[in-house]
Amino acid sequence: MASVNKSNKAKHIFVTGGVTSSLGKGIISASLGKLLQARGYSVTIQKFDPYINIDPGTLNPYEHGECYVTDDGAETDLDLGHYERFLNITTSQDNNITTGRIYNNVITKERRGDYQGKTVQVIPHITDEIKFNFFKMDQSGEYDIIITEIGGCVGDIESLPFIEAVRQAKLDLGPSNFLSIHLTLIPFLSAAKELKTKPTQHSVKQLLEAGIQPDILVCRTEKPLPLEIRKKLALFCNVQLNSVIEAMDADSIYDVPLLMRKEKLAERVLSKLKLPKSEPDLDEWKAFLGKLKNPTEEVEIGLVGKYVELPDAYKSIIESFIHAGAENECRVKIRWISSESITPLVVKDLLEGLSGILVAPGFGERGIDGKITAIQYVRENKIPFFGICLGMQCAVTEFARNVLKMPHADSTEFNPQTADPVIYLMNDQKDITNIGGTMRLGAYPCKLQKGSKVQAIYGRQNISERHRHRYEFNNQYLDEFINAGMKTSGINPDSNLVEIIELEDHPWFIGVQFHPELKSTAQSPHPLFQKFVEATLKFKKHSYKKEVINL
Ligand code: GLN
């Protein structure tokens, strides 16, 4: 049986959700984490997802949004991105566990004979494995408080073992080390002009049936919760009146920590966990919000991608633009452009009025020609360009076709037989067939070339960035690219792989093989996004001047 670490010093907060999914447990958890961190507590957040996939790496972004990659190469749920962006911390594989991973661990142990012939069951074997993972991060001794978000809704068949493990965790930890927060919805019926508490009462009842009494109710609502409603919720759900917390819809997710501060969420948590309450230091957060809310400029940037109907697929990119925009005191408006809609005939119209474009990461052939057409247009017209992963690979292909005059240049991902495989699969990756097995995942070092634009942007020479891709720049073509003006300004010092390309005779044309968007946080915006937004602002001012001169 897995051993459950009971001698931990971390206190545990479990966040469950009821009534419906998508209530924003991730943002509430991240906001609570921020408020506790602002009082000097060392906090981390972990997410337990009830689906059977071992990790979200193979999930379709249409169904699940972006796959967030951590430094240690874990492909995780996009909520981990919120945890990192709010808390300015790094997370790892240990912060995201799925049902699939739990069962995989238990089955591996069973096959190995660890259970010594015992019948392997949901209780205790699966629940013990879940609890082992609940408490795994205690072992480092690094955290005062660990917040655990349970994905899905109370009452879902899939969530049952997790909820049961939470019930047991309370017994293992003891009351002042355990806290249960239930996030629920208080719908407003416009016909009756009333906020309704019944769905919450039902959802709390379901939690109670599973043996968990919520200590705090966080109520998502579009209207303020009047005292009467709070009293009713407190009475029927058996929580203290001051533990009914209103979570009003906010303009921006970054407002939520301050909204939760007004409602005294962290105070309630700290008194229930018997921890000292000091005044939080939220100065930096407020400074960020101040800049975010009071932009003096606005730019419009085109985001060229395959999944433009579902912005969650590009969550981290959107958030990085918000951070970088705030830093530049500039509102970044995103124009979503489906790569499939771009042809040489319409490219000018589609990109009209934009101050820059970002070509997004992606897998598969759809829309590649559109991306290449857009890149040719911005390269030739000196419009700021930022290519991420597939976006960089397309920039390399475009340059090969149109500048190096290799009309058939391609990535072998799209044309395995191409005469000029400028982007290719390296030999040692070819035989691996397990999906995900061939991917370069997680943090890799990169050395920036002296005197390059990227070195000036980062202000240093050695960086580390996160990757998630299979294909690479083909170094056989290196000299031809360099001689024609495409600098390979970031190189992996161990493998010599090209990680960054930039153009010399262009104001801002940078492609990166890694995903800088995964490392941008509210309090430390990523330098590449920051400077890209700055370049688009310059471009906008410059083109405005040109227009005025031409009048
Ligand atoms: N499909 C490309 C590759 O696997 C790019 C992946 C990405 O953009 N994340 O290399």
Note the pLDDT tens digit of each residue in 135-157: 999 999 999 999 999 999 999 99
The single residue of 67, 330, 389, 394 carrying the catalytic annotation is 389
Distance 66 CA to ligand 1 centre (A): 13
Please compute the mean of the pLDDT values over residues 409-413 and round it to a whole number. Answer: 96
Pocket test for ligand 1, best of 424, 426, 468, 474 (most atoms within 8 A of CB): 468
pLDDT of residue 531: 98
Q: How far apart are CA 318 and CA 527, in angstroms?
A: 15
pLDDT of residue 56: 79
pLDDT of residue 5: 38
Helices 265-272/25-37 angle, 10° precision:
70
**Residue pair 370/396 in contact by the 8 Å Cβ criterion:** no
> How far is residue 286 CA from its own chain's centroid?
22
Q: Is the CB of 389 under 6 A from ligand 1?
A: yes
Pocket test for ligand 1, best of 69, 75, 317, 390 (most atoms within 8 A of CB): 390
CB crowding 159-176: b at 16 or more within 10 Å, else e:
bbbbbbbbbbbbebbeee
Q: Say whether pLDDT at 8 is over 60.
A: no
Give 330's contacts (C-beta < 8 A, 6+ positions apart).
Answer: 295, 296, 297, 298, 299, 533, 537
Give 525's contacts (C-beta < 8 A, 6+ positions apart).
Answer: 320, 323, 324, 326, 327
User: Model's pTM, two decimal places?
Assistant: 0.93
Q: Considering only the C-alpha atoms of the chain, give the largest distance between any 2 of them, rounded to a whole number of Å.
A: 86
Task: Please name the residue that has the structure tokens 């992963």.
Answer: 389
Specify burial of residue 543 (Cβ count, 10 A radius: 0-12, 13-18, 19+). Answer: middle
Query: Confidence band (pLDDT; 50, 70, 90) for 441?
Result: very high
Percentages helix, strand, coil for the chain, rounded to the nearest 5? 45, 20, 35
Specify which residues 75 forms β-bridges with. Answer: 69
Q: Which amino acid is at 120?
A: V
**Is 394 annotated as catalytic?**
no
Nearest-5° Cα angle at 460, 454 to 465: 70
Q: Say whether pLDDT at 351 is over 60.
A: yes
Atom of ligand 1 minimally distant from the CA of 472: 10
Greater pLDDT, 543 or 18: 18
**Is 389 annotated as catalytic?**
yes
pLDDT of residue 550: 65
**Is 517 annotated as catalytic?**
yes
pLDDT of residue 4: 39
pLDDT of residue 548: 67
Mean residue pLDDT of the chain comes to 93
The per-residue pLDDT for range 251-307, each reduced to its tens digit, is 999 999 999 999 999 999 999 999 999 999 999 999 999 999 999 999 999 999 987
Atom of ligand 1 minimally distant from the CA of 389: 8
Atom of ligand 1 minimally distant from the CA of 388: 8
Q: How far apart are CA 13 and CA 144, in angstroms?
A: 11
Give 224's contacts (C-beta < 8 A, 6+ positions apart).
Answer: 246, 248
**Local structure of 420: helix, strand or coil:** coil
Q: Say whether pLDDT at 312 is over 70.
A: yes
Greater pLDDT, 332 or 435: 332
pLDDT of residue 3: 38
The two tokens of residue 489 are 């300004």
